[in-house]
Structure 1
Amino acid sequence: MNPIAKLLVMAGVILIIVGLVWQVGGRFLNLGRLPGDIVVEKENFRFYFPLMTSIIVSVVLSLLFYLFRFFKS
């Protein structure tokens, strides 16, 4: 199979898995409201920066890509 086709199929599978986890796990995983996320609320202003959520997502994606690369070789 063409390497680009493999990449697109793998990306599609990953997106489907992430979508299912987001849909089903959203009730149990409180991503987006973790301790460490920055929320500033003023009278007419609200600023939200999901710092801890970004770190967790980055670590999980890094591990997944490492495992894909590890098992590909």
Structure 2
Amino acid sequence: MIAGAIIFAIGFIMHFFNIGRLPGDIVFKKGNTTFYFPIVTSIVISIVLSVIVYFIGRFR
């Protein structure tokens, strides 16, 4: 249930605060097909989660 709540919160934040469309994300549009690869968004989320886990481990 905790993992579901975390995934829900991440989805809520990305949807309402438009985090998933950072400069550097790759988008290909051709005809009816769209390919979206959020490389910069993935890097930013990875850095933020790494910092959070670091501080949780440090102060525990």
**TMscore range, shorter length:** 0.7 to 0.9
Q: Which has the higher strand share?
A: 2
Greater RCO structure (CA 8 Å; 6+ sep)? 2
Alignment size in residue pairs: 58
Coordinate RMSD, CA, aligned: 2.1
TM-score by length of 2: 0.74
Q: Where does structure 1 lack aligned partners over 5 or more consecutive residues?
A: 1-11
TM-score by length of 1: 0.63
Moved over 2 A (4+): 14-23
| 1:69 aligns to 2:57 (yes or no) | yes
In our comparison, the structure showing a higher alpha carbon Rg is 1
1:39 to 13, 23, 27: 27
